């Protein structure tokens, strides 16, 4: 048993992934349980970040690995995160637990300052750069109903959508 309670990461084109998450107004036991579950799902899925809407919860909560380039698990939590400042540019080949079988170069800010709260209501300010900054921007995008494929060319996006439709049709025929 992996401790995820059978919760799976939702995959595109699930409509919940295009929904805007709502601000968290009450940090309670239910939120603690959600955070613990999200961390388990993130690591069980070999991810470095996860937004609550990726598991069907429309709450402004993200979890992330604080040192995504290390093998050691060091989970971080942000409730109601917002990017306060951003600078620089970096291009990185991104993937997503919700966008299966696809990676693409995405241009993002190379340094960001993010503010939010942890799961204990403490204000958190994070100065992140490179992969950590990419991860935080990626997860905050999820909270706004945006996927990394929204940052790529319309041609690449339509090619991915056609490929996904074919794969979904194959899977449906196989299940029939």
Residue 114: how many other CB atoms lie within 10 Å: 24
Give the residue among 33, 84, 29, 25 at the shortest CA–CA distance from 55.
Answer: 33
Residue 76: how many other CB atoms lie within 10 Å: 19
Answer yes or no: are the C-beta atoms of 72 and 43 closer than 8 Å: no
Is 139 a catalytic site residue?
Answer: yes
Burial of 66 (0-12, 13-18, 19+ CB in 10 A): middle
The catalytic residue among 22, 94, 139, 167 is 139
Angstrom distance (rounded) from CA 50 to CA 97: 8
In the numeric block, which tokens belong to residue 173?
Answer: 């025929």
Residues forming the active site: 139
């Amino acid at each position: 048993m992996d401790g995820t309670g059978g919760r799976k990461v939702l995959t595109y084109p699930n409509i919940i992934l295009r929904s805007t998450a709502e601000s968290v107004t009450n940090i309670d036991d239910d939120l603690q349980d959600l955070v613990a579950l999200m961390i388990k799902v993130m690591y069980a899925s070999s991810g470095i970040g996860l937004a609550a809407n990726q598991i069907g919860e429309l709450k402004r909560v993200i979890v992330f690995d604080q040192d995504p380039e290390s093998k050691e698990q060091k989970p971080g939590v942000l409730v109601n995160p917002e990017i306060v400042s951003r600078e620089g540019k970096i291009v990185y080949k991104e993937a997503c637990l919700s966008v299966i079988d696809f990676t693409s170069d995405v241009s993002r800010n190379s340094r960001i300052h993010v503010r939010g709260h942890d799961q204990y209501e403490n204000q958190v300010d994070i100065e992140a750069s490179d992969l950590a900054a990419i991860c935080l921007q990626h997860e905050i995008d999820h909270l706004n109903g945006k996927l990394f494929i929204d940052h790529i060319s319309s041609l690449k996006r339509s090619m991915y959508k056609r490929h996904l439709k074919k794969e979904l049709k194959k899977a449906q025929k196989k299940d029939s």
